[in-house]
Amino acid sequence: MAPETTGRKGAPKTLDQVAAATGYSRTTVRFVVTGQAEKHRIRPETRALIEDYVARHGLVVDHTARALKTRRSDAVGLVVPDLANAFFARLTAELEERCRASGRVLLTASSHEDAEREAQAVAGLLWRGVDGLVIAPCRAPEALRPALRGRRTAVVSVDRAYSDAPWPTVVGDNEAAAETLAGRLLAIAGGSIAFVGACPALPSVAGRIAGFRAAARAAALDRSETRLHLAERDEASEGARLMRAAITAHGAPKAVMCTSLLMLEGVFRALIDAFGRVPEDLVVGTFDHHPFLDAVPNRILAVRQDERGLAEAAFAHLIAQMDGGPREPIRVVVPGRLVDRPGPGVTAGSP
């Protein structure tokens, strides 16, 4: 599968050229270069001759021609909302690693949280003939079904668990994590808490909201102490807007809980704008973690998603389908990890 270029000097040859040069047929040559010499009982001297020639001149089997014939590309496509987002960047890196290890390449595409672009990205990738598709969908994937109909392309959803996905879905444990997180925040701050989130229509965010509500109920807080601030777009400016409004209306809360780092970023910005700095006694909860948060003096609890685990699971299910398995609406939950004060020596950095 790998570039079989044992080549030494000059342009590496094609299979046909080797056949012509050695006087054997394509088939014979192919048997020896693909290691099927034994299996087909190629005569040792023949084999030696061909191997010698290849060692001397190099050989590289044309990937495009092979793909045309076999209808396989050894490529997998990835569609995420935004590659520059730390979570997706890490997920991408992990997937890329697994692709490389298995002789595949990863084609990346961004949807920018837009259904139309997502559809285009998927169409483009399928057109390219990717064998598999990993997608963090920005809406119910029902709409993507027609494009997949009749294809054997493997598919798996990540990060967002739309219930109608007719293929495996690999996600974090949003609701449970949110409940734990909110519970801890309330225990520490003991008072009013603002929830700042984006894209409540996303299943992941919906889960986080549900978890938050559950914790609030458990703490027997009334409405005036737990406020939900929601935006339609996951952007720092939106987070800032929400937080500004919250401050104006009710003053600074004792705690905030954000659904994403971008929201948190906006929250920080609004606080700095309003108070010149982030109030030191504010307790912060967020999804996803960033090492720099450790340098912020506030108490910060973060639910760190397990990008590696997510990639691992997604890739495994992709492979299973590519190996002939069926598309099944399986749900895989990869738990995150609640990071509180990092102890000394903790390696919170890049994995």
Residues that bind DNA (CB under 7 A): 14-17, 23-28, 30-31, 40-43, 46-47, 60-62, 65-66, 68-70
User: Could you give the angle at which helices 15-22 and 44-57 cross, rounded to 10 degrees?
Assistant: 120
Q: Which does 345 bind (CB under 5 to 8 A by kind): DNA, a copy of itself, none?
A: a copy of itself
CB-based contact 261:290 (threshold 8 Å): yes
- Would you count residue 200 as binding a copy of itself (CB under 8 A)? no
Cα distances (angstroms) measured from residue 107 to each of 21, 244, 306: 37, 39, 22
Closest separation between CB of residue 198 and DNA, Å? 42
Beta bridge partners of 171: 333
Instruction: Name which of 7 and 200 has its Cβ closer to a copy of itself.
Output: 7
Closest separation between CB of residue 291 and a copy of itself, Å? 5
Cα distances (angstroms) measured from residue 49 to each of 12, 36, 41, 53: 17, 15, 15, 6
Instruction: Name which of 23 and 329 has its Cβ closer to DNA.
Output: 23
Cα distances (angstroms) measured from residue 302 to each of 256, 257, 277, 288: 12, 9, 20, 6
Helix (H), strand (E) at residue 155: strand 154-158
**Cα–Cα distance for residue pair 128/153, rounded to 1 Å:** 11
- Would you count residue 116 as binding a copy of itself (CB under 8 A)? no
Closest separation between CB of residue 96 and a copy of itself, Å? 6
Q: Which does 42 bind (CB under 5 to 8 A by kind): DNA, a copy of itself, none?
A: DNA
Q: Which does 48 bind (CB under 5 to 8 A by kind): a copy of itself, DNA, none?
A: none
Helix (H), strand (E) at residue 238: helix 236-250
Instruction: Name which of 42 and 161 has its Cβ closer to DNA.
Output: 42
Q: Which two tokens stand for residue 97?
A: 């690693």
Residue closest to 81 by CA, chosen among 119, 112, 118, 114: 112
Contact residue for a copy of itself among 21, 49, 83, 320 (CB under 8 A): 83
Closest separation between CB of residue 82 and DNA, Å? 33
Closest separation between CB of residue 44 and DNA, Å? 8
- Would you count residue 5 as binding a copy of itself (CB under 8 A)? yes
DSSP state of 294: G
Closest separation between CB of residue 277 and a copy of itself, Å? 6
Q: Which does 145 bind (CB under 5 to 8 A by kind): DNA, a copy of itself, none?
A: none
CB-based contact 219:281 (threshold 8 Å): no
Contact residue for a copy of itself among 51, 82, 225, 306 (CB under 8 A): 82
Q: Which does 115 bind (CB under 5 to 8 A by kind): DNA, a copy of itself, none?
A: none
CA angle 308, 312, 313 (to 5 degrees): 120
Beta bridge partners of 135: 79, 157
Q: Please give the residue ranges that form the binding site for a copy of itself (CB under 8 A).
A: 2-3, 5, 11, 60, 62-65, 67-68, 71, 73, 75, 82-86, 89-90, 92-93, 96-97, 100, 105-110, 121, 123-129, 150, 235-237, 261-262, 265-266, 268-269, 272-273, 277-278, 290-297, 344-345, 347-351
